[in-house]
Structure 1
Amino acid sequence: MSQDRLAERAPAATPAPGTTTWITLVALLSAGWATNHFAAMLPVLAEVAHISKPGLDAAFGLYALGLLPSLLLGGGLSDRHGRRPVVVTGLTLAGLGNLVMLTWSTLPGVTVGRLVVGLGVGMVASAGTAWAADQDETKGAARAGVVLTSGFAVGPVATALIAWAVSGRTGAHLAFAVPVVLTAVFALLCLRVPDPGPSRVAARRAADGDDSPAAPVTDERRLGPALAASLPMALWVFACVTVSMIVLTERIDEQYSGPLLPAVAAVLSLGTGVLAQVGMRRVGGWRGLGVVGAGLATTGYVIAGVAGAQVGLATFAVCSVVLGCAYGLCLGQGLRDVERLAPLASRGVATGLFYVVSYSGFALPFVLNTYEDNLGASAPMYALAALAATTALARLRQVRRSSAADLQPVR
């Protein structure tokens, strides 16, 4: 028998399910790194490329213009055509955006690069989270949130260390080159794993008769209740961490300026957020965590408002930890609501909508910087605190209604 026929009959090597899981997660990690390492690049670009603070704040926030539509587009496309092609396309765009900033380090170049990064990361975040949830109904979405947050935290720290070790324009180029390489490598790895698509996942579970409590998504679930529960939580995801990483770092005395300060903010806020999400898994499905998360957001904004335009290091540290915990709880609770309530066929869209609202918080520093001269440093923080408190009360009523419905006798 010829070698060609033997090759035709031999089954194709398929990576183990665990391999698909970790490749999906490292893709999310690299996407988080590729987008949020820019926070540590703000002081570097101000010094090396002589870009103004308002210009950098605008570039940081305008990233959302590329991000928001791609979150919706990526989620919907992944529901119809599979998760893998959307994730690979997103990683490619995230790397390309960083490459643009590496080779065109001016305000127009940084703005264009951030828009392209936004397009890519939006696709990876929505499709990648849905892909992780497809692989593990009970922990997939929560695990994806933890890993994406880890990428957000690791990126600024690594970039700050690179900028500290290699000064000047060479360090800036190296900091942009790292996420270019990472996203390229993990895009290639994603091409090597199977992607059955959500429709085949649903068919397989139906054939297996998987109606146990460990498989919470059923055909009776509807998109509306999933969004009603998750979107209020999404409001306080990145609206919390951007206050710590961008707003508060700009209000600390100039003697502490430099790329290491955003890295410290990333460790305090995003690191706390990771711990909060990991801790959520120990308390099961207690839906009151969303109330706690919004309540902590209220507390953090009040602290920032009291501090005003000049923030001390102790206040900065406390506020970053509080807002980071709020970020982690709101992100974890919102993703759990999507996983618990959204129908499988619409999970990508639901995840995309959740992240659309979440990532709108990236525009907050630009908005606060625009109106700070007229409103002052404290008034906007108090307004945010009032809105977060309203969300906490609304979530509390939602939890009580849900608990009362669960206690009703079945007739």
Structure 2
Amino acid sequence: MKGQSRTTSRMRWGFVGAVYAFLIIMMGTTLPTPLYPIYSKAFDLSPLMVTIIYAVYAAGVIGGLLVFGQLSDRIGRRYVLLPGVILSVISALIFLCATNVGFLLAGRVVSGLSAGLFTSTATATIVNLAPDDKKNQASTIASSVNMLGLGFGPLLCGLLAEYLPHPLRLIFVVDIVMLILALIGIWIMPEPIKDRQSLKVNVQKLSVPKEIRATFIYAVIPVFVGFSMLGLFTAISPNFLGNILSIHNKAIIGVTVFFIFCASTLGQLLFKQQPDSKVLTLGSVTLIVGVILVGVSLLVESFLMLFIGALVSGLGQAFSFRAGLSTVNSVAPEDQRAEITSTFFTIAYIAISIPVVGVGLLELGLGVQWAGIVFSMIVAVLAVVSFLLLVTRGKREA
């Protein structure tokens, strides 16, 4: 009895450690967001270079997902999560020592690799360590922690950079301290995978079986739109607030980005009893409203409307993401689920990077305001297309 109680206690604390580590790793990936206006002045960065810095992060994530995404099934969760934490520490050290744009590029690539190792492995670990009757709640906790971590990064960095000295250094010292605690948590965590195999690294192929391809496409299109919205907002908000609205308070920048991820977290908890098809349609409608609000806010230069648009868009992204992933998981064959899920996440990360690159290129000729307006229109059109496809499919299946 005592042995069973001790095992239960270890599993519980391991669950807490995995959740904490996931939160801190994802937080680290968005920490620099409020600092880019400072980096731009300090290192004389063009909008295109800032765009490239954003884009190399997505490349790192996708590379991590494809090369290491399923490695933990073979060698164990801990032995993938530990390198993920170490890579995050290395990224923070690179930013801490940054003296030119090369450091920023290297730091973002390493940060992306860290996130690529953690995204699927930490989610699986949290579910593995949860009690059998709490597996569904654990999956929701994992996805919520993912989004909350992404939101806490800009919030914490904005507050420290605005109100404490050394804005380009202090936040990364704090991050390293929190990562050391995460490293300890993962180290002492019970290993969920008991039947481990030899180390073998393969680049995972991206494919979707023909029999579920139609369902996958209908599910992933609204997810693509939702993540494009996140990418758009992340790309435009720091420069728009600073250059157009003359809001240079880094805490406000951090809070603004934080709330879109808070809305995304909240949205994943709503309408859980509704069919995925209805939630996907609701997500598309909500995204249409949110993107239009963001586009109009850029046109009329309104911070309040931008903030409301961010909240609405975050909810729409959450509805689409949760229902889309649930739909894909429900039809994916068991022996191909990991491969199909990796394809799903890869498309999502491509979606989040396209607006960043596009806005950066358009900004060279149009400026950040009109670049954001143009891409808002594009994302809104995609959301309308997604809505029409879902409605058409619903009528056909009725």
Instruction: Give the TM-score normalised by structure 2.
Output: 0.82
Task: Give the number of equivalent residue pairs.
Answer: 370
Instruction: Name the residue aligned to 2:140.
Output: 142
1:184 aligns with 2:184: no
Instruction: Name the residue aligned to 2:388.
Output: 393
Greater alpha carbon shift after TM alignment, 228-237 vs 144-153: 228-237
Q: Is the 8 A contact 1:129 1:144 kept in 2?
A: yes
Q: Tell me how far apart the structure 2 counterparts of residues 263 and 79 of structure 1 sit (CA, whole Å).
A: 36
Q: Tell me how far apart the structure 2 counterparts of residues 46 and 199 of structure 1 sit (CA, whole Å).
A: 49
Q: Which has the larger radius of gyration?
A: 1
The alpha-carbon deviation at position 344 of structure 1 amounts to: 4.8
- 257, 264, 269: which one aligns with 2:260: 269
Instruction: Name the SS of the counterpart of 2:190 in structure 1.
Output: coil
The alpha-carbon distance between structure 1 residues 334 and 94, as it changes in their structure 2 partners (threshold 3 A), is: farther
Amino acid across the alignment from 2:61: L
The alpha-carbon deviation at position 87 of structure 1 amounts to: 2.0
Instruction: Name the residue aligned to 1:259.
Output: 250
Q: Is the 8 A contact 1:223 1:346 kept in 2?
A: no
Q: Tell me how far apart the structure 2 counterparts of residues 274 and 61 of structure 1 sit (CA, whole Å).
A: 24
Indicate the percent of aligned positions where both proteins have the same amino acid. Answer: 20
The within-5 A match list for 1:273-312 is 273-281=264-272, 283=273, 285-308=275-298, 311-312=301-302
Instruction: Name the SS of the counterpart of 1:197 in structure 2.
Output: coil
The alpha-carbon deviation at position 42 of structure 1 amounts to: 1.3
Q: Tell me how far apart the structure 1 counterparts of residues 76 and 326 of structure 2 sit (CA, whole Å).
A: 21
The alpha-carbon distance between structure 1 residues 264 and 109, as it changes in their structure 2 partners (threshold 3 A), is: same
Please give the per-residue CA displacement for 1:29-62, whole angstroms capped at 9, x wherever unaligned: 1121010112122123234555444322321222
Instruction: Name the residue aligned to 2:10.
Output: 16
Instruction: Name the residue aligned to 1:66.
Output: 60
- 342, 350, 355: which one aligns with 2:345: 355
The alpha-carbon distance between structure 1 residues 243 and 224, as it changes in their structure 2 partners (threshold 3 A), is: same
The alpha-carbon distance between structure 1 residues 380 and 143, as it changes in their structure 2 partners (threshold 3 A), is: same
The alpha-carbon deviation at position 385 of structure 1 amounts to: 1.2
The alpha-carbon distance between structure 1 residues 95 and 271, as it changes in their structure 2 partners (threshold 3 A), is: same
Q: Is the 8 A contact 1:130 1:351 kept in 2?
A: no
Q: Is the 8 A contact 2:77 2:193 kept in 1?
A: yes
The alpha-carbon deviation at position 304 of structure 1 amounts to: 3.2
Amino acid across the alignment from 2:171: A
Q: Tell me how far apart the structure 1 counterparts of residues 297 and 173 of structure 2 sit (CA, whole Å).
A: 37
Please give the per-residue CA displacement for 1:207-232, whole angstroms capped at 9, x wherever unaligned: xxxxxxxxxxxxxxx98577446432
Amino acid across the alignment from 1:263: G
Q: Is the 8 A contact 2:26 2:150 kept in 1?
A: yes
The alpha-carbon distance between structure 1 residues 20 and 322, as it changes in their structure 2 partners (threshold 3 A), is: same
Please give the per-residue CA displacement for 1:319-357, whole angstroms capped at 9, x wherever unaligned: 111111122222222332344344555444343332222
Please give the per-residue CA displacement for 1:168-207, whole angstroms capped at 9, x wherever unaligned: xx2321112222232332133112222333979xxxxxxx
Instruction: Name the residue aligned to 1:172.
Output: 168
Instruction: Give the TM-score normalised by structure 1.
Output: 0.80
Q: Tell me how far apart the structure 2 counterparts of residues 345 and 177 of structure 1 sit (CA, whole Å).
A: 43
The alpha-carbon distance between structure 1 residues 145 and 256, as it changes in their structure 2 partners (threshold 3 A), is: same
Instruction: Quote the RMSD (CA, aligned, Å).
Output: 3.0
The alpha-carbon distance between structure 1 residues 104 and 362, as it changes in their structure 2 partners (threshold 3 A), is: same
Gap regions ≥5 residues in structure 1: 1-9, 201-221, 405-411
The alpha-carbon distance between structure 1 residues 245 and 65, as it changes in their structure 2 partners (threshold 3 A), is: closer
1:243 aligns with 2:232: yes
